[in-house]
Amino acid sequence: MPAPLPPLSLSLQFARFDDVAEHRAALPRHKVTRWIRHALDGDVLQAEITVRIVDAEEGQTLNRDYRQKDYATNVLTFDYSSAPVVMADLVLCAPVVAREAAELGKPLAEHYAHLLVHGTLHAQGWDHETGEEEAEAMEAEEIAILAGLGLANPYAQP
């Protein structure tokens, strides 16, 4: 019998932007909670995570100010503490996520699920930018988590 999933305190926030309703519809609270909880490692006893969906301007500002990369990216993770209590902010840039989902031919909600799993792994110390081995391990973990959620491999070529 698998271990029970850890409790999650979730704050789900949406900035004001033109097509926010489409993004709200793709991110019902119960699904966001499920996706994040499934991405938490076995040594996590509880998590406090804020998910904020932003426009391109806010996404670019945060990426520039905190990562010194002057463009909007799909997901930014700000991790404050790790296991046994994970505390983090996940910031997802709605226009970038929507564009990527369209380019990949995926439903918006499915792409959000992948990016929330990805960001949650970053909040626990996973890092795909430190080397090829770490990138492959993180990718494999994402694929396994998403499969457990009934979602396809996000890295498979169509």
Q: Which residues are annotated as a binding site?
A: 118, 122, 128
Question: Which residue type, as a one-letter code, is found at position 106?
Answer: K
Q: How many CB atoms lie within 10 A of CB 121?
A: 22
The span from the CA of 82 to the CA of 114, in Å, is 20
Question: Which residue type, as a one-letter code, is found at position 69?
Answer: K
Length of the chain: 158
Closest by alpha carbon to 109, among 69, 152, 158? 152
In a 3-state reduction of DSSP, which class is residue 28? coil
Closest by alpha carbon to 27, among 108, 117, 119? 108
Please state the residue numbers annotated as binding site for Zn(2+).
Answer: 118, 122, 128
Contact 38, 4 (CB under 8 A): no
Q: What's the token pair of residue 20?
A: 């926010």
